[in-house]
Amino acid sequence: MDKDRSKGLSLRKKRGEGKRSAKPVIGPPRQVPMPPMPGAKLGPVSGPPQVRIRDKQMVADLVKRRMSTRFPMPGEPGVDIPAMPNLPSGPNMIAAGAGARLPVKQPERSDGVNLDLDTFRDPNFSPDTFVATVLANASDEEIRDYQRRLKDIRNRTSSDLQKNVFVNRTQFILISKEIDKLKSEMRVLRNLLNDLHNTTSSLKTDSENSSTTSDLKARKAANRSSVADLTALHMSHLQALWKQVEGAQKFLPSVPGRHIILESRHWVELNAATWKPRRIVHIVLLNDHLLVATVKKKRTDNGSSGSPQIKNVAERCWPLAEIEMVDLSPIDSQSAKRAHMVNAVNLRVGKESFVYQNEDLSKKGELLRQFKKSADELRKALRAESEDNLRRRDSMTFLAGRDPRLLENGGLLNSLSAHGSTSALFTVEGQTRNLRWVEAQMDELDERIAHRQFEEAVVGVEKLRGLARALTSNNALVAELINFKVDERASRLAAIITTDLTENPAKKSAVKANVQWLVRLDFEDRAREAFLEAKSDVIKKRTRQVRFEGDVPLYISQVALVQFTLIKNTVEIYNSCFEYRLASALVRWAKERADEYMDLFERQLQAIDQDSKVCSDCMEITRLHSTMLVDCGLDFKELRDPRLRAKKGDGAAGLGLK
């Protein structure tokens, strides 16, 4: 023992000990026999159970899905840890019976990425951020499933939207009908309320006016009688003045509204230079004139006795508008030089000056006051009359300045000026208009013509012409003015449209539109003549473009093809644009074109024998190409047999229509 201690401890095993005890052998796993299940049949023990290929694939898919799934770690932002599921009840499962086979639990199908529709409703939604956040770790199958669900939601939303639109449209229609019905009912109610208000007002005013009707009639009759009496009174005063003042009727004839305002006697006319008295005068102030009459004594017989007779003789008479009356009262009362001129007045008429003095101060004051009042009233009346004339002249000048051609029609301007501004007012669609409204319409028409808005311009011309026809019975002057201005614009518009028609006569739609505008403007003849003239120019131009290179039949063939084709096209366009009653002008035009072709035909064959093959070929070519005119309703005998032209001569004898 001491020997072992001296050697120490060792973990190595001795050689002999390994031979004496054998190592345990670990073998393969052995199946432990299980107690038989109740009701199972005992039999020989079989080998290990075989696994089907489908089960292996299912297990492999589950393992791949498990390995590709990323589980968020606790504490990461946005991680919602679900609650723990409920554990199944143990006793129930145990009580299910030992003989019952446990159901095999199928693997649950994952819904993939959570689809939250509220995220898409956010106004700040960003598709890139959403994809980078939600679908960053999703597999291909999950992305396809997510896309499929989005498509389903989109289709369902679209169908819901269509249903909502249909329902809302139906409800909107019903509500609109109810609103219209309510409007009509409210309109009827408003009318009934107005009728009720008018009825009650009339009942209220009838009782009040019944007592005053007789008073109003009496007052009106009194006013009429007072006006008549005042006119008669003014006339009697004027006649008395004619009798008292000799020669007064020559200066003051009877004029409506003329009357006497003041008669002032005992005035002394003074010399304006020496202030010495000259004669006694009598001053009569009227509403528009001032009369100065000289007081003279009549000569009496030598044998007669008594006081001499006095008569008044009219010496001077001026309009109030030409007179200036100045009070000659002294500025300084202590001035001895003009102390005796306290009651004098100075009348200035142009370059002349007259001084009149009266001893009565009240007469001078009354004369000055009445003269100033009458002069002011006359000045106001003249100003109003001049403004009225100026306004009327200004309107006429405005019309003439806007349309210089109106000056050529002086009778219309004079008629408008004579009738005044009342004749320039008229009613259009229930509203009162004047001549400036007419000028505004003309400005709009000029603007449409300048912008080449032909349809709107033609409609405006038709509208203004209809207005003129409606005003013919009520206001003939305004109707004549509107017709004058509209005719000028229509002529200008027709000239522009005719130019377009002449420049482009080949396009059927453009020609038809231009012709219709000209017909609506009452320029149908101009449209027909312009169209046919333009087509004639086109035929001449195209014929000159055909080159003659020595081959007469080829030249005749080309010319016939060009001319007859253009004539046929012209006939077709003409028939589509104009009425059938105007076909005579088309036939006449076609006959002229056929004669021009025959003239060219004869010039080309003039030096060729008529019995030669060239001549017969040219006639046959003409006959063949002329069939195009037969197809459009024209048949000229000269074209079928050119030799008939020489027999019958130039004329319309060869004109025939099928």
Domain ranges of the chain: 144-199, 245-298+309-330+341-375, 540-650
Residue 41 has pLDDT above 60, yes or no: no
- Tokens encoding 146: 């997510």
Helices and strands (H and E) in the chain: how many: 22, 12
The pLDDT score that the predictor gives to residue 76 is 53
> Could you tell me the pLDDT band of residue 421, with boundaries at 50, 70 and 90?
very low
* pLDDT, tens digit, 9 for 90 and up, residues 154-201: 898 888 888 888 888 888 888 988 898 888 889 889 888 888 887 887
Beta bridge partners of 348: 324, 353
pLDDT tens digits, 76-89: 555 555 555 555 54
CA dist 351 and 409 (Å) reads: 44
Choose among 522, 435, 446, 425: nearest CA to 482. 435
Residue 590 has a CB neighbour count (10 Å cut-off) of 23
pLDDT of 73 strictly over 80: no
CA atoms of 579 and 571, how far apart (whole Å): 12
Separation between Cα atoms, residue 426 and residue 482, nearest integer Å: 12
Give the pLDDT of residue 575: 85
Mean pLDDT value across residues 625-652: 63
What pLDDT is recorded for position 215? 59
Q: Which is higher by pLDDT, 88 or 548?
A: 548
* Residue 452 region by backbone torsions, left for phi larger than 0, else alpha for psi between -120 and 50, else beta: left
pLDDT of residue 493: 92
Here the contacts of 168-176 (C-beta below 8 Å, separation 24 or greater) are none
Looking at residue 218, what is its pLDDT?
55
DSSP classification of residue 608: S
Instruction: Name the phi and psi angles at 281, rounded to 5.
Output: -130, 165
CA angle 71, 77, 80 (to 5 degrees): 60
Least confident of 265-274, 420-429, 484-493: 420-429
Look-up of token digits 């009727």? 249
Give the per-residue pLDDT at 457. 92
Band (pLDDT 50/70/90 cuts) for residue 90 is: very low
| pLDDT for 278 beyond 80 | yes
- Average pLDDT score over the chain: 75
Chain centre to alpha carbon of residue 72: 69
Closest CA to 587 of 657, 505, 506: 657
User: Does 458 score more than 80 pLDDT?
Assistant: yes
- Which residues are paired to 296 by β-bridges? 311
The DSSP-derived string for 430-462 is TEEE-HHHHHHHHHHHHHHHHTT-HHHHHHHHH
User: Are residues 246 and 313 in contact, defined by beta-carbon separation less than 8 angstroms?
Assistant: yes
Asked whether residue 66 carries a pLDDT value surpassing 90, the answer given is no
DSSP structure class, residue 571: H
Q: Look at 278-292, 487-501, 603-617 and tell me which has the smallest mean pLDDT.
A: 603-617
Q: How confident is the model at residue 302 (pLDDT cuts 50, 70, 90)?
A: low
- Range with the poorest average pLDDT among 124-133, 234-243, 283-292: 124-133
Mean pLDDT over residues 84-106, rounded? 44
pLDDT for 652 equals 39
Average pLDDT over residues 206-229: 58
Calculate Rg over the CA atoms of the chain: 61
Task: For residue 581, report the phi and psi dihedrals to the nearest 5 degrees.
Answer: -70, -15
Share of the chain above pLDDT 70, in %: 69
Which of 60-64, 390-394, 476-480, 535-539: highest mean pLDDT? 535-539
Q: Does the domain made of 540-650 have the CATH classification 3.40.190.170?
A: no
Token pair, residue 209, equals 């006016």
Starting at the earlier edge strand, list the strands of the sheet with 260-270. 245-246, 310-319, 289-297, 277-286, 260-270, 352-357, 344-349, 324-327
pLDDT (mean) for 595-608: 84
Q: What is the CATH number of domain 245-298+309-330+341-375?
A: 2.30.29.30
Report the 10 Å Cβ neighbour count for 7. Answer: 8
pLDDT at 137 over 60: yes
Q: Which pLDDT value is given to residue 455? A: 92
**How far, in Å, CA of 131 to CA of 227, rounded?**
101
What would the pLDDT profile of 571-586 be if each residue is shown by its tens digit?
888 888 887 777 788 8
> Phi/psi of residue 348, each to 5°?
-115, 115
For 41-71, the three-class secondary structure string (H helix, E strand, C coil) is CCCCCCCCCCCCHHHHHHHHHHHHHHHHCCC
Q: What is the pLDDT of residue 96?
A: 41
- Provide the phi-psi class of 112: left if phi over 0, else alpha when psi is between -120 and 50, else beta: left
What mean pLDDT is predicted for residues 104-124?
A: 62
Is the model's pLDDT at 106 over the cut of 70?
no
- The residue-averaged pLDDT of 524-551 equals 88
Mean pLDDT along residues 404-408 = 59
Interval 628-650 mean pLDDT: 63
Residues 6+ apart with CB under 8 A from 498: 514, 518, 523, 526, 527, 530
With a cut of 70, say whether residue 104 has pLDDT above it.
Answer: no
Per-residue pLDDT for 147 more than 80? yes
Q: Is the pLDDT confidence value at 645 over 70? A: no
